[in-house]
Amino acid sequence: MSHVVSLGGVEQRDRTDRRPDRTRLDAFPRDPLLRWALRLAFAVPYLLVAWVGSAGANLRLTTPNQQLIDRIATIDWNRADVSWISDIFPPLSTLLAAAIPGGRAGLAVAGALVAGVFLQRILEVMVQRRFAVTTTVILMLALAANPLFAYNVTENFPAFLGLAFFGLGIADVVRFVAWGNTQSGFRAGLLLMLATLSDLSGVLYVLTAAAAAPFLRHRRADQVGARRANVLVIVFPTAAAIGAIGALNLIFTGRILGSLGRGLLAGVPERFETITAMFTSIDGLLLAAPVLSAWVIGLIVRRPGSIVVSTLVFVAVLGASTLGLVPSGSAGNTFILMTLMAIALIPTARERFTIALVDVVAVLQIAIAWAIAFNRPVVLDWMHALSTALSAFPH
């Protein structure tokens, strides 16, 4: 039982109340210097990958970063009309890529530095949620210690930026909805908006987060309209940003999506047939493996709502691929998303048996990541280019 006592006019909770304050979000590590040192340590492996790749062997590959650079080269930066807005969409990743010097090598370095901050924040989320040490280590390895993550970091800057914002945003959605932390709700809305402004798939991610929010355990479930209010807080920044862009395009060009919409619907039937055909082969099994793992974890921790959420995210990824929102040369987006969802949604396990089962599934995630990497020709070609560049260095 908890008791509230007054000390010097300030109410404090009696020491007999040992329940942790789940809404307290302490930074990890608490020392800012150690925190930045940890971020740099996480970034170093990907900086090394970027350095090896800059040797030139992988520059012949057509990766999403190369496609982004080619698209930037066609943009008329002296224009100031409304059509220009749709030309640069998604604006955040496009403007950053235009400002970052060094071409593909510069984007790889930028991605590595973003990865350092991102991984420290993900580790911070798990520490704040008091995950078991074994679970934390295994999930960090499953997320970051594989070719899929390194490929996205160094060769798919827009997608990785969107994934990073989405991963941090969905963690704040859980804090907001399940813990009642209002600050996290506003931060989640802004992070999801940034995900949308970084990657075309971000729009579907936000819609998924909005659809998933009602399935989470609500701290204010007894309050009338609480679920609708939570969804509104989450989606409002994105809706305002996209609505403003769409309104400008509609008023001045007569098309909501402007020039961006011309190629989105082209090729949808062909892409749909390709995706459905994948599920009759090993490719489809590996594509679905991360979401199946998320289902298993949801059953282990007795959170059926997480199964619904992970399924919605998976459907969003398939929808983005069908609509052509995922550029050619992308790989590993589904795996990274599902791993982030697991980190954000699974509750803290207290029983040793539950922790052990979650750890087993997390270990399987490591195997799934490597299996997907060796099944994706674009990732295999990238790894071969890196090994060729590495062997060319003097020993």
Residue 353 counted as domain residue: yes
Residue 233 counted as domain residue: yes
Q: Which tens digits make up the pLDDT trace of 98-144?
A: 999 988 999 999 999 999 999 999 999 899 888 999 999 999 999 99
Residue 19 counted as domain residue: no
Residue 11 counted as domain residue: no
At 5 the pLDDT is 38
Residue 8 counted as domain residue: no
Residue 6 counted as domain residue: no
Name, in order, each residue with C-beta under 8 angstroms of 94's C-beta and a sequence gap of 6 or more.
68, 71, 72, 75, 88, 158
Confidence of residue 20 (pLDDT cuts 50, 70, 90): very low
Whether 49 contacts 154, CB under 8 Å? yes
At 326 the pLDDT is 80
Helix (H) or strand (E) segment spanning residue 378: helix 377-392
Name, in order, each residue with C-beta under 8 angstroms of 117's C-beta and a sequence gap of 6 or more.
39, 43
pLDDT at 283 over 90: no
At 364 the pLDDT is 93
Residue 196 CA to residue 332 CA, distance in Å, equals: 19
Q: Burial code of 337-357, b = ≥16 C-beta within 10 A, e = fewer?
A: bbbbbbbbbbebbeeeebbeb
At 128 the pLDDT is 85
Q: Which tens digits make up the pLDDT trace of 344-358?
A: 877 776 788 888 999
For 86, the token pair is 């749709």
Residue 7 counted as domain residue: no
Range(s) of the domain holding residue 263: 27-383
Residue 22 counted as domain residue: no
In sequence order, what DSSP letters do the residues of 87-148 get, joined into one string?
HT-SHHHHHHHHHSSSHHHHHHHHHHHHHHHHHHHHHHHHHHTT--HHHHHHHHHHHHSSHH
Q: How many domains does the chain have?
A: 1
Whether 164 contacts 344, CB under 8 Å? no
Whether 146 contacts 373, CB under 8 Å? yes
